[in-house]
Amino acid sequence: MKADLTHGVATERPSLFESIASHFVLVLAVAFALYPVLWVVSLAFSTTRPAGGGLLPIPHEPTLAHLEAVVLAKRTTVDGTSWIFGRQLANSLIVSLATAAVGVVIAIPTAYALARFQFLGKERGVRALLATQMFPTVASAIPLYLILNALHLLNTRTGLVVCYASTSVPFAIFQLRAAFEAIPVDLEEAAMVDGATRFEAFLRVVLPAARPAIAVTALFAFMSAYNEFILAATLLGKEEMFTLPVVLKRFIGEYNADWSKFAAGAIVVSVPVMALFYVAQRHLVAGLTSGGVKG
């Protein structure tokens, strides 16, 4: 029987009943997952919010007006008209990509060191790292504002990236450490026996083997930066610098919330992330220890 590298539990052909049952459960899960999102979609394309809530999320008097209003939003200032939404979308994408890259780059060597080495202060460091996750972010918003102000990084994308990357590093370290620990040491030792230094073994053997985990970690860092609102609202003061969550939140005022525009914006905000995930998820399956070390 062909050696099947897609892991899990079952390695033989399932019965018809099992197939149908699996699909049924999955379809139910997908319906549960998608229903609220479909509501948002139908709201974005409805001319007005239907007074009586229907069961089916079908747009009421379909229209593209809200989508246009959000995506084509322009801003007229003394310097002329600019496509402000495009600028804000770019901000979000740039900041999130940079966060993912920087966060992962900082985390990888640290995670490796935690997985492979014993060193002074290791246990305490890990505990401190875990501890940072336990503080509510609300408490650090104002202090971060003051620190970034001192570094002249307020209102800049760099400042935001620096904050997001740092806050995503602890989680990334934990994920990657677990992934590195799951890779057998024998692989590096085999490489070192063949003449590579530890660092070369790290680069050429361990990293490719950990590609699924790295992809997931980068994706997570991207998404937490992309969806983050509190810090962005606090640290950014100019409309051209805003990221999308801040823009979206502004549609919901105290008394008159523009739900349709909000919903339209929500769709536009979500599409890049979902596209990215579709691309990244192929890496989840790749990079197994095919023919690594056999006992």
Question: Which residues inside 237-266 make contact with other proteins, applying CB under 8 A?
Answer: 237-239, 245-246, 248-259, 262, 266
Closest distance to other proteins from the beta carbon of 195 (Å): 19
Closest to 161 in 3D by CA, of 228, 90, 225, 244? 225
Angstrom distance (rounded) from CA 150 to CA 141: 15
The one segment of 59-67, 83-91, 187-195, 227-235 that binds other proteins by CB under 8 A: 227-235
Residue for token pair 């809530």 = 53
| Bridge partner list, 82 | 75
Backbone angles phi, psi at 292, to 5 degrees: -70, -95
Proportion of the chain in helix, strand, coil states, percent, rounded to 5: 70, 5, 30
Q: Which of 52, 61, 80, 194 binds other proteins (CB under 8 A)?
A: 52
Pick the closer one to other proteins by CB: 90 or 152: 152
Instruction: Give the dihedral sign, CA 121/127/133/137.
Output: negative
Residues 6+ apart with CB under 8 A from 64: 45
Q: How far is the CB of 198 from other proteins (least distance, A)?
A: 8
SS3 56: coil
* 75 phi/psi in degrees, rounded to 5: -130, 125
**Residue closer to other proteins, measured from CB, 31 or 90:** 31
> What is the nearest approach in angstroms of other proteins to the Cβ of residue 241?
10
Residue 33 Cβ, how far from other proteins at the closest point, in Å?
5
Q: Which is nearer to other proteins, 78 or 193 (CB)?
A: 78
Site for other proteins in 129-188 (CB under 8 A): 129-136, 138-140, 142-147, 149, 154, 162-163, 165-167, 169-171, 173-175, 177-179, 181-182, 184
Site for other proteins in 16-35 (CB under 8 A): 19, 22, 25-26, 29-30, 32-35
Helix (H, G, I), strand (E, B) or coil at 82: strand
Angstrom CA distances, 111 to 12, 155, 175, stand at 36, 31, 8
Find the shortest distance in angstroms from Cβ 292 to other proteins: 9
Residues 64-123 that bind other proteins (CB under 8 A): 76-78, 106-107, 109-110, 112-114, 117-122
Burial of 87 (0-12, 13-18, 19+ CB in 10 A): middle
Q: In this chain, which of 55, 61, 80, 193 binds other proteins, going by CB under 8 A? A: 55
Given the complex with other proteins, which of 17 and 119 has the nearer CB atom? 119
Of 20, 58, 72, 284, the residue at the interface with other proteins (CB under 8 A) is: 284
Contact mark string toward other proteins, 206..225, x via CB under 8 A: ------xx--x------x--
Comparing CB distances to other proteins, the nearer of 64 and 130 is 130
Phi then psi dihedrals of residue 254, to 5 deg: -70, -45
C-beta separation of 246 from 236 below 8 A: yes
